[in-house]
Chain A
Amino acid sequence: MSATDDAELARRVEAIEQLLVEKRWLRRESIDAVVKYYETSVGPMNGARLVARAWTDPAFRSALLDDATKAAAQLGIGGPQGEHLRAVENGPGMHHVVVCTLCSCYPWPVLGLPPSWYKSAEYRSRMVREPRKVLAEMGLTLAEDVTLTVWDSSAEIRYFVLPQRPPGTEGLPAAELEKWVTRDSMIGVGLPTRPEGTR
């Protein structure tokens, strides 16, 4: 195939869609449903529910660390690229970060579709070679005595980070804590942050 720009790519995709509809493999509405699903129903808010629940419910935390696929399914979170989920937990002196050097593996049901930078050649090449430098550039400077574990998603296990609960959030209910949990904190390139407009 020879498509080289968006207009051409769009034409080509439309051609395939027409053919599949004519051959009765699918309806356009089926594709609409998938598109809408990825636009509205998966995203970091799903992961935030898992994390906030783990912070407030020790039994759920254990279940999540033991079998994240099963624990996520309990909250209605699952689907393509979530067949084998695994949560890795940050702790004192221990930080985790996730990358896929071979393609762009990412836990879709938990975090949504991966952002462009996660799929970029720069992130994929550097995160295994100079992860502290990349993290510092992204605003997360780790002390040297913190062990940094980089998870390269080279098989079908989809990793995400269970960040540490931030100090000062004691007593907050899970619904409030969810707002602290960012996409970046679950990839491991950031930490949970105070939601805007709160103190």
Chain B
Amino acid sequence: VKPRVHDLGGKAEYFGPVRSAISEPAFHQRWEGRVLGMFVLFAGTWRNNIDEARDVMEQLGPQRYFSLPYWSRWLSALEVALERHGVVAPGEVDARAAGQAPAASGSRRPTWVRRLYGRVTMPLLFREGPLPRWVGWIYASLYNYRRAAAGPPRFKPGDKVQVRDAEASGHTRRPGYVRGRRGTITRHVAAMVLPDAHAIGKRESGQHLYSVAFDGEELWGPSAEPNVVLQVDLFESYLTPV
């Protein structure tokens, strides 16, 4: 298991001034926008592989994760996805980037539906100005993370819970700073895709997701700032009743 460096909440070694700016361009380099464009395309044709992408980004070495531009993390995730889904052959990108330009090899070609999406539908969706209502509606109803759960929710608002402390074996959305801590359910959000399973392509039924409130002191002890509540969205399997 490769180390995961992404889980930063409360880690003092990363503390420093926040260099905020009033506004900045969407992309600082041309290639960044191209990465997002290609990523959006493949997210659209393969449905919601964001956890797969996060899983890749999380396993990048600290040098790459922290020192290179943000969008280079997405580039890594894109490359892994393209190889994993057989869209490019191993070594094909290297060869092309090195200036050797063999004709694109016989790796997987798009089905007509996917070709239509990448060549025709996508530019229609991403056009200038506010989206037509139906696009927002399609996104909200088709591209969402809700999935039917196997059973009713185990917890209800007001219930006290403790976050499981056991080490995760792979991708998870349970931040380290809440592990082993006690909080209170404030909302049952919905039953949704469990990222831990989604990241490795497992198809499971949905799992109940809750908003859980933690007092600052519960997380950080007496040195916590006064009157602070942390709200973290946590899946049922991350939680035990108190």
Contact = CB atoms under 8 A, between A and B. Distances in A.
B97 to A, nearest CB: 4
Contact of A155 (B37, B132, B177, B235): B235
B96 A73 contact: no
B26 A113 contact: yes
B113 to A, nearest CB: 12
Interface of B is mostly: mixed
Contacts of A12: 75, 93, 97
Interface size class of chain B, counting residues whose CB lies under 8 Å from the partner chain: 35 or more
Contact of B226 (A13, A77, A144): A144
Interface in B49-65: 54, 57
Contacts, number: 313
B34 A13 contact: yes
B239 to A, nearest CB: 13
A75 B29 CA distance: 31
Contact of A152 (B24, B220, B230): B230
Contacts of A124: 8-9, 14
Contacts of A46: 130
A16 interface: yes
A132 B135 CA distance: 39
A103 B40 CA distance: 17
Interface in A132-152: 132-134, 137-138, 144-152
A29 to B, nearest CB: 6
Contact of A73 (B15, B38, B140): B140
20 contacts: A3-B75, A16-B79, A18-B96, A19-B104, A20-B38, A30-B123, A40-B128, A78-B131, A84-B190, A116-B24, A122-B18, A124-B14, A125-B9, A149-B229, A150-B228, A155-B173, A156-B144, A156-B193, A157-B211, A189-B20
Q: Nearest 6 A-B pairs (CB), nearest first?
A: A78-B136, A76-B130, A73-B136, A101-B9, A31-B37, A26-B118
Given A1-B75, A129-B9, A129-B220, 11 more contacts: A3-B75, A4-B68, A9-B29, A9-B31, A22-B103, A31-B34, A38-B27, A78-B135, A115-B24, A144-B226, A154-B174
Interface of B: 6-12, 14-21, 23-27, 29-31, 33-38, 40-41, 43, 54, 57, 66, 68-70, 72, 75-76, 78-79, 82, 87-88, 92-94, 96-97, 103-104, 107, 109-110, 114-115, 118-119, 122-123, 125-133, 135-137, 139-140, 143-145, 173-175, 177, 189-190, 192-193, 195, 209, 211, 219-220, 225-235
